[in-house]
Structure 1
Amino acid sequence: MSRRAGREPGRPARWWRRQSLRTRLTVIAAMAIAVSVFAAFQVASELLDRELRDTAEEQLRADSRVLATNAERAGLAKVELPPYPGSGRLVRVVLPDGSTRTPPGQPSLPPVSENAERVARGASADLMESDGSDEEGYAVYTLRAGDGAVQVARPVDDSPINRFGFGMLLIGLLCMVGGALVGRTVARTGLAPIDRLTAAAVRVAHTRELDAAIPDEGGGEIRRLIRSINDMLAALRNSRQAQRLLAEDAAHELKTPLTSLRLNVELLIRLDRRGTLDSALPAQSRTRLLNDLGAQVDELSTRVAELTDLARGDVSDESTEVLDLADVVVAAATRARSRMPDIEVALDVTSVWVSGRPAALERAVLNLIDNAGKWSPVGRPVEVRLRAEGASAVLEVDDAGPGIDAADVPRVFDRFYRADSARALPGSGLGLSIVQRVVDAHGGRATVARSARGGALLRVGLPAAAPALVARLTTGEDTAAS
């Protein structure tokens, strides 16, 4: 029993949640009208009942005064009592000895109450009371007259109230039905944009067509919802287009190294099967070919890593922390020197604290140095400068190469973009694109200009960390060190 009792309250709620919004609005409209009609019926019934009782009591008082005047003139024992009309008013005279007189043929009234006897004895002037002990109750008015009292009574008739209640019940039922119909119509009209929006969303889900925008109709919340969904569809279209372009560009960029790698491997396999590997391919040529294969594998691995990093959507899963950007630049320069031993990297850095992801920032700085290293002539170092400018940390990578043509400047940070002069150099065109994405993720800005040395000047500005936070961190480090 306890488990069933615990489940019962949840059933209406579960039923309500399963209903459509249109059904809910219909039920709410019908219930609102029903409650309104019920409240109006209660108020109207109370007012009507009070008005009928006041009217009946006023009539009883008037009739009692007439009968009392006649009784005082003729005497209580001799006053002529009006004959009983067959229905309606009833009269009675209460004599000093407590006996009563009534017209012949009149139905008997309830016994004289103690309060009415006190009126007859002169203790009170009048009394209005109701008696409901019998099936038919009476409203009895007692008025002092001579040495006794006169009483005029009327049956308490609730039939007008009952008829009024029955009429109100019929009206309430009709109003409920009408309210349900009106609520259904209003719900259908008001939810029509939602229905069309749902149909459009279902069509998009089935056809996978993101180009068809949902018509902007309605107002208020409906319009904001439609605009939000259209914005979402536009974002999905852009994302799908970006994925398609990435896949097409990746396929194009991977095609050349894969083709070269496959041809070289097929050549080795074919010569090995013929048994002419040593004669057809001397040791020096074989070494050069193997070196080429290794270089192609390295290039292919680098491009796959760059594509993977670019396609992940976020810069990294690592958390953001407050760090000294000078440490990141020094670490990236060290890696660049190991990768390009022929290129000199000259550092001119000062301590500037920023909030960022260390690995992502190091990757961006390394890509900047790698890009500059491709263009710097032998004996001309790549200059890397880091300083604070106001509330920003400014990193500059300066090379002494031929510089970037003005026509290529707007597309320097595009994915897979390579200037005509750079197509003979190693690379995939993804390095600076990754730099742009990392800088954007950190709220910074990357620009390109011509260096005073004649080459390219790549400049990155990042928001510097708050001085108070830096002071706390450096103070904590100094305390730990001491």
Structure 2
Amino acid sequence: MSYTVLALLLVVVGLFAGAVVLVRRLRRVRGVLEEFTAGNYTPRLPLSGSLVAAVNSLGDRLVELHDSQRSFVADASHQLRNPLVALRLRLENLEPHVLPEGLGKMESALREATRMSLILNALMTLARGEGRAHAVQPVDIAAVLEDRMASWRPIAAIAGVDLFIKPCTGLWANALPAAVDQILDVFIDNALRVSPVGSTIELFAESSLHQVRLFCRDEGPGMNPADAARACERYWRGTQRRDTDGAGLGLSIAAGLARASDGWLALNPAPGGGTDAVLVLRTAQSTVDDREV
């Protein structure tokens, strides 16, 4: 074998070995980035190079942002708790001075104050770590739907939108306390923002062997696939409507509450137009991981 052929073989072997090493490094980089995408920001690459340094720096920044957001939620929830307690006490002290015909409205206000306290507790639970196991409990879905409809129907009437629910009984799902209430509030609030006058928002629930699915169906303009895919990201605003207020946190918090309840959200096109906002939870008796919407 000539020296030229031997040299060429050595070059080919060297290039092949280098390519194998590069592919392995890129696979490790891809694995870490996939962990970041899944919400796990702890993995780091024990390698050298500018690409590795950039990936590790990205992980550090994601941890910093995530911790900052969790701290904000925890601090805001804690600071709101005392004013809520004071509000409830003032409402209770007003009871002797309220006329009989106003007692129903006062009791409704007290229930809302109690519900807000439960919501703050749920937010503080999320702030302690979304990835941890949380204590869920059986929730009467029909009762929650009735309660949220009663609270939102006057607001919907002012906006010229009809809000109604399909009757459903005997549906129980596992969730954090007050999580379903808050998620439905986010769904209804978003639906009202896009619903034209004279349209309808429909709340209903369906069940299968292992799942309960709660729907909030509006008759608005709907969402394009790109918006639907990103709607639950923190601080993200839709591309189709820029004329609404809000910080872009509602669906993100709702998605966190759903995950903490071992469920998830979906935003799908509604039949005939509009959007189906869907909350999927396990039934109270289910221990099976069934992820079909």
Scaled to the shorter chain, the TM-score interval is 0.5 to 0.7
Are the aligned partners of 1:335 and 1:366 in contact in 2 as well (CA < 8 Å)?
no
Question: Gapped runs of 5+ residues in structure 2?
Answer: 1-40, 48-55, 74-119, 287-293
Misfit runs of 4+, over 6 Å: 233-236, 304-310
Alpha-carbon shift at residue 336 of structure 1 (Å): 2.1
Q: Which residue number in structure 1 is paired with residue 277 of structure 2?
A: 458
Are the aligned partners of 1:347 and 1:383 in contact in 2 as well (CA < 8 Å)?
yes
Are the aligned partners of 1:333 and 1:369 in contact in 2 as well (CA < 8 Å)?
no
SS in structure 2 at match of 1:433: helix
Residues 244-272 of structure 1 deviation map (CA, whole Å, 9 limit, x = unaligned)? 7749x99xxxxxxxxxxxxxxxxxxxxxx
Q: Which residue number in structure 2 is paired with residue 116 of structure 1?
A: none
Inter-CA distance 241–465: structure 2 relative to 1 (3 Å threshold)? same
Q: Which residue number in structure 2 is paired with residue 394 of structure 1?
A: 213
SS in structure 2 at match of 1:422: coil
Alpha-carbon shift at residue 390 of structure 1 (Å): 2.2
User: Residues of 1 paired with 2:241 and 2:128: CA distance?
Assistant: 27
SS in structure 1 at match of 2:65: helix
Q: Which residue number in structure 2 is paired with residue 422 of structure 1?
A: 241
User: Residues of 2 paired with 1:350 and 1:361: CA distance?
Assistant: 16
Alpha-carbon shift at residue 392 of structure 1 (Å): 0.4
Question: Residues 65-76 of structure 1: matches in 2 within 5 Å?
Answer: none
User: Residues of 2 paired with 1:212 and 1:364: CA distance?
Assistant: 31
Inter-CA distance 242–320: structure 2 relative to 1 (3 Å threshold)? same
SS in structure 1 at match of 2:150: helix
SS in structure 2 at match of 1:407: helix
Q: Quick check: 1:335 aligned with 2:158?
A: no
User: Residues of 1 paired with 2:128 and 2:150: CA distance?
Assistant: 27
Paired residue total: 186
User: Residues of 2 paired with 1:212 and 1:461: CA distance?
Assistant: 30
Inter-CA distance 325–319: structure 2 relative to 1 (3 Å threshold)? same
Inter-CA distance 211–405: structure 2 relative to 1 (3 Å threshold)? closer
Question: Residues 68-467 of structure 1: matches in 2 within 5 Å?
Answer: 213=44, 215=46, 237=60, 240-243=63-66, 246=69, 311=127, 313=129, 320-341=136-157, 342-348=160-166, 349-466=168-285
User: Residues of 2 paired with 1:398 and 1:419: CA distance?
Assistant: 18
SS in structure 1 at match of 2:226: coil
User: Residues of 1 paired with 2:278 and 2:191: CA distance?
Assistant: 12
Alpha-carbon shift at residue 344 of structure 1 (Å): 2.1
Residues 363-406 of structure 1 deviation map (CA, whole Å, 9 limit, x = unaligned)? 01111111111111111110111021221001111110000012
User: Residues of 1 paired with 2:151 and 2:249: CA distance?
Assistant: 19
Question: Gapped runs of 5+ residues in structure 1?
Answer: 1-209, 217-232, 251-303, 468-482
Are the aligned partners of 2:237 and 2:248 in contact in 1 as well (CA < 8 Å)?
yes
Q: 2:219 is matched by which residue type in structure 1?
A: A
Inter-CA distance 417–308: structure 2 relative to 1 (3 Å threshold)? farther
User: Residues of 2 paired with 1:370 and 1:347: CA distance?
Assistant: 16
User: Residues of 1 paired with 2:125 and 2:222: CA distance?
Assistant: 27
Relative contact order, higher structure (CA 8 A, sep 6+) = 2
Residues 191-249 of structure 1 deviation map (CA, whole Å, 9 limit, x = unaligned)? xxxxxxxxxxxxxxxxxxx9995849xxxxxxxxxxxxxxxx999837624337749x9
Give the alignment's Cα RMSD to 1 decimal: 3.9
Inter-CA distance 212–345: structure 2 relative to 1 (3 Å threshold)? closer
Q: 1:464 is matched by which residue type in structure 2?
A: T
Tell which structure's C-alpha radius of gyration is larger: 1
Are the aligned partners of 1:351 and 1:387 in contact in 2 as well (CA < 8 Å)?
no
